[in-house]
Amino acid sequence: MVAKALEESDPEQERYGKLLEALSSKDHLITIGSKAPIFEAKDRALGIARYGADLPAENPVYAKIVRSKFPHAKIKKIDTSRAEKLPGVIGVFTAEDIPGINEIGALVPDQPLLATDTVRYYGDSVAIVAAEDPLTAEEAAELVDVEYEPLPAVFSPLDAMKPNAPKIHEGGNYIPTGHFLVKKGDVQKAFAQPDIIVVEHEYRTQHQEHAFLDPEANLAIPEKDGTMTIIAGLQFPFGVQMTVAKILGLRSDQVRVIQAATGGSFGGRDATGPQAKAALVAYKTKRPTILTYTREESMTEPLVRHPYIMRYKTGATKDGKLIAVKAEIFVDAGAYETYSSGPAWRAATHAAGPYQVPNVHIEIFPYYTNNTPSGAFRGFGNPQVHFATESQMDELSEKLDMDPVEFRLKNILRDGSATATGQILDHSVGLEECVKKAVKDSHWKEKRAKYKEMKGAKKKGIGISLMYHGASTLSEPGEGPDYARSTIIVNKDGSVTYRTGIIEMGQGSPTAHTLIVAEALGIPLNYINLERFDSRTHPDAGITVASRGTYMGGISALIAAKTIAKRMKKKAAQMLDCRPSKVDFKEGKVSAKNQPSKKTTFKELAVRCHEDGIVLSETTTYIVPRIYWDNEMGQGDTYHAFTFSATVSEVEVDMETGQVQVLKVTPVYDLGRVINRLGAEGQVEGGVVQAVGYAIMEELVHKEGLVTNPNLADYYIPTSMDSPEITSNFVEHPFKRGPYGAKGFAESPIVGTAPSIANAIYHATGTRVRSLPITSEKIHLSLEKGE
Ligand code: MOS
C-alpha cells in the first residue's frame, strides 16, 4: 500500500508521454501473437550456424586450464618449468600474470580468475597453458606441478554453518548478502490456534547442470590498437566486457564483445570467467586465443543450480483456508558466491507460493561449501521453493481430505490479493483461469478417480501444481532500477535495422522484439533485420536473465518504434493532407483513415523523410518506475508483474522398479500476452522437458566435492523417449506495463512442472519422496519402507 503512494505521480507518464499507450492495447493486433521463426533457427537446423568452436582464427594459440585436484587446499608452489619445456608450449600463466585485478565475482568480490593461495573446489582454476595445438596444451596442463597442502573441507550447508567448520573464505562460510527474511503477520500465533491442521516436512533439491548444446568456446583476439575482441556464445556480454576490462586493466570500451551462435545458456553463461581467461592468454601471447571447454569442464566449472534444504510448516483451517507458512531454507552456494544472493531473494519472496497467506515467516541462509559454485539457472531459486510449497499444498489437502484443486482454488492469488510480501496484485492475475483450463483440458476429475483404483504392476497418477514467477530483478537488493535499450534505424529504402542488448541464446526474445517493432510501425516482419549482437553497436539492455528479455527489451523496442512512427506520421500527414492522428500504418501501407484514396507506402515515406532530413534512427531507454521495498521485513513490492501457471502432469510408475514415465503434461500459463506464438510454445516444450529432468533424472552428483558424473553419458537428461506429450495453452491477461501486455515467460515452465510430476508420482504410488530427483531408486526404497 505504501507502494501505491510512490506511484501516484506516475513517472512513466511524465517520462514517456503517450508512447506507452500500446502497452496494454486492445486494438486488433496483426503481428503480435503470430508465429515467427526465431533468429538463426534455420541456420541451426541446417548445421551452418557458427558456434564459438567454429570460428576461424588466424595463427591461433590454444589454451587449457590447470585445475585443482582438491576440494580445498593451500597452494604451496606452482612450478611451470616442465610444462614450459614441452615443444609447442608458448607460455604458462598464473595469477601473477594478470595485469589488472584478479577478481571475477559477480555480486561479491570473493572469486579470483586464477587462484592465488587457495583453491576452494575440485576444478578451481590455478593456471592456464597456451600452446600451438590443443593436444600439446592438454599435455602441458598435466605437466604444471602444483604443490598443494590439503585443507579440511565441507560439503553441505548444514555442516558449513557449524561453529567449528573449516572456513572457506576469510569471513567464514555464511553469506550475509544472501540472507533474507519475509515476515508478515504472526506465524507463531497462527500455529497456536486450536483447530489448525498442520503439515511439516523437509524437502531437498539437487545440483542441476544446464547441459546446453555447445560447451563454452571462446575466441579472444588482441587488436593492434591494444583493444581486445571477444567472440563467444554469450548470455551476458556487458558482464564479459566489464570482467575482461578489469582483468586486463582496460577501459570497458576497449573490449569489444561479439556474439557467436549460442546453443542455450539457461543462466550458465552468466559466468564471465571463461572469456576473461581466453582474453588473458591473448593479451600475454599477443595471438588470437581459442579456449574451448570439454563437456566435463563445462559441467564442473561454471554455475549449477543450487541445492536447497527447505524446512516447511504449513497450516490451514478445517475448511481449507491457508493461515500460515513457515519456511527455513539452507542454500549450498558452493565455493564462490557467483549468483547466490539473487536466487535467495527470489526464493524467499516466492516461497509461500501463489497463495493468499496471512501469516508468513520465511528465512533463507546461504553458505559456502567446497562444492562446485552454484549460480544462475533458469528459475533462479524458484523451482526449488515451488517443489517444497506445492508438495506441502498436496500433503495438506490430503490431511484436510480435500481435492488438491479445490483446496488450491480456495487460496490462490486473485486480482486485488496480497502476496506474502504484502504486494497488492492490482492487475493481470489469470491464475484461476489457468487452473480451470488445466483441470478441464487434462480431464483431471475423471483421471484422478480412475487412477486411484488402478491395480497391478504399473500404476498411473495425475498431479497438479501452481506457480508464480516475477519478471525481472526489480526490488532485488543491490540492483538499480531495471532498464533496457533498443536501437531502430529506418533506412532510406524503408528497410529497418533493429539492435538490442538483449541476447538471443535460443529463447527468442530479440525475435519477439521484431514482432513488436513490426506491429508498432505497421510493417511486415520481413522489412526488419535483426542484427547479431556486437558491443560496438548494440545498446546496453542489462543482463538477459530473469524472464526480462521480451518484457523489458520489448518496451524499449516499442518506445523506439513509436518515437519513429510519430515523426513519420507527421511527414505522412503532409503528404496525404490530413492530420497526423489520422495516418494509418498497416502492413507496409500508409493511408489516411477513412479516406482510402489518400495513400502511400512505408518505403516511399521513408525516402521522403530522408530527403527532408527527418532522423529515422533512435536509441531509447526504458526505466521501470521505482517501487517500495523494505528489506528488513521483506515487505513491499517485489516485481511489477508475475506470470502464473497451473500444470497437470500424468505419470506411469512401475511399482516393482520404481521407474517413472511422464506421460503427459498439460500446463496453462497467464503470460499477459503472447508475442511470438512459436517462441512461447518453444519455451513451454523446452522448459517442461528440462523440468522432467529436474523432477526425476538429473543430478550432478558430488562425492566429497568431486563430481562423479561430469558427462552426458552418466548425467542423464531427458531424451525424446523421456519426453511427455505436452499440450500448452495460454490465457492472456494483458499486463499494463508490458509491451502489448506481455509479461516475462522463459523461466516459468521449469518452475511449475517438476512439483506436478512429484504430486502425480505420489498419486500413483502412495509414497511421497521429498527430495529431487525422484529416481526409481528413491521410489523403490520408499515403497519398501512403506512410507
Ligand atoms: Mo537466469 S537463471 O535469470 O540467467
Counting from 1 in the atom list of ligand 1, the atom nearest the Cα of 378 is 2
Spell out the SS3 assignment of 94-151: CHHHCCCCCCCCCCCCCCCCCCCCEECCCCCEEEEEEECCHHHHHHHHHHCEEEEEEC
Centre of ligand 1 from the C-alpha of residue 266, in Å: 6
- C-alpha to C-alpha distance for 541 and 556, rounded to whole angstroms: 9
Beta bridge partners of 324: 315, 359
Q: How many residues does the chain have?
A: 787
Q: CB under 8 Å to 523, separation ≥6 — which residues? A: 494, 496, 585, 587, 588, 602
Which residue in 470, 549, 460 sits closest to 511, CA to CA? 549
- C-alpha to C-alpha distance for 327 and 357, rounded to whole angstroms: 13
* CA atoms within 13 A of residue 180's CA, in its CB half-sphere: 26
The pLDDT of residue 478 is 66
Q: Is 666 left (phi over 0), alpha (psi -120 to 50) or beta?
A: beta
Q: What type of residue sits at position 679?
A: G
Confidence of residue 9 (pLDDT cuts 50, 70, 90): low
Q: Is the pLDDT of residue 474 over 90?
A: no
Q: CB under 8 Å to 668, separation ≥6 — which residues? A: 433, 434, 435, 437, 438, 441, 645, 646, 647, 728, 729, 730, 731
The pLDDT of residue 14 is 75
Q: Is the pLDDT of residue 213 over 80?
A: yes
Centroid of chain to Cα 264: 11
The pLDDT of residue 4 is 42
The pLDDT of residue 7 is 46
Question: For ligand 1, is residue 380 a contact (CB within 6 Å)?
Answer: yes
The H helix count followed by the E strand count for the chain is 21, 31
Counting from 1 in the atom list of ligand 1, the atom nearest the Cα of 339 is 2
Question: For ligand 1, is residue 735 a contact (CB within 6 Å)?
Answer: no
Counting from 1 in the atom list of ligand 1, the atom nearest the Cα of 267 is 4
Counting from 1 in the atom list of ligand 1, the atom nearest the Cα of 376 is 2
- C-alpha to C-alpha distance for 180 and 38, rounded to whole angstroms: 38
Centre of ligand 1 from the C-alpha of residue 496, in Å: 30
Centre of ligand 1 from the C-alpha of residue 521, in Å: 31
Q: Is the pLDDT of residue 13 over 80?
A: no
Question: For ligand 1, is residue 281 a contact (CB within 6 Å)?
Answer: no
Query: Could you report the per-residue pLDDT of 190-201, keeping only the tens digit for each?
Result: 999 999 999 999
Confidence of residue 479 (pLDDT cuts 50, 70, 90): low
Ligand 1 mutation target, pool 378, 504, 683, most atoms within 8 A of CB: 378
Q: Is the pLDDT of residue 325 over 50?
A: yes
Q: Is the pLDDT of residue 47 over 80?
A: yes
Question: For ligand 1, is residue 124 a contact (CB within 6 Å)?
Answer: no
- C-alpha to C-alpha distance for 314 and 362, rounded to whole angstroms: 11
Confidence of residue 20 (pLDDT cuts 50, 70, 90): confident
Three-class SS state of 273: helix
Q: CB under 8 Å to 410, separation ≥6 — which residues? A: 320, 321, 322
Specify whether the CB–CB gap between 236 and 544 falls below 8 A. yes
What is the mean predicted confidence (pLDDT) over 275-282?
A: 98
Q: Which cell numbers hold the place of 7? A: 506511484
Question: For ligand 1, is residue 270 a contact (CB within 6 Å)?
Answer: yes
| Percentage of the chain lying above the pLDDT 70 cut | 98
Ligand 1 mutation target, pool 545, 639, 748, most atoms within 8 A of CB: 545
Confidence of residue 23 (pLDDT cuts 50, 70, 90): confident
Query: Could you report the per-residue pLDDT of 152-182, keeping only the tens digit for each?
Result: 999 999 999 999 999 999 999 999 999 999 9
Query: Could you report the per-residue pLDDT of 705-758, keeping only the tens digit for each?
Result: 999 999 999 999 999 999 999 998 999 999 989 999 999 999 999 999 999 999
Question: For ligand 1, is residue 220 a contact (CB within 6 Å)?
Answer: no
The pLDDT of residue 12 is 75
- C-alpha to C-alpha distance for 126 and 119, rounded to whole angstroms: 8
Q: Is the pLDDT of residue 578 over 70?
A: yes
End-to-end CA distance of the chain: 45
The pLDDT of residue 627 is 82
Confidence of residue 787 (pLDDT cuts 50, 70, 90): low
Question: For ligand 1, is residue 545 a contact (CB within 6 Å)?
Answer: yes
* Alpha carbon separation from 84 to 77, 131, 135, 136, 139 (Å, rounded): 16, 10, 14, 11, 11
Q: Is the pLDDT of residue 477 over 70?
A: no
Confidence of residue 628 (pLDDT cuts 50, 70, 90): confident
Q: Is the pLDDT of residue 22 over 80?
A: no
The pLDDT of residue 25 is 72
Does 474 or 289 have the greater pLDDT score? 289
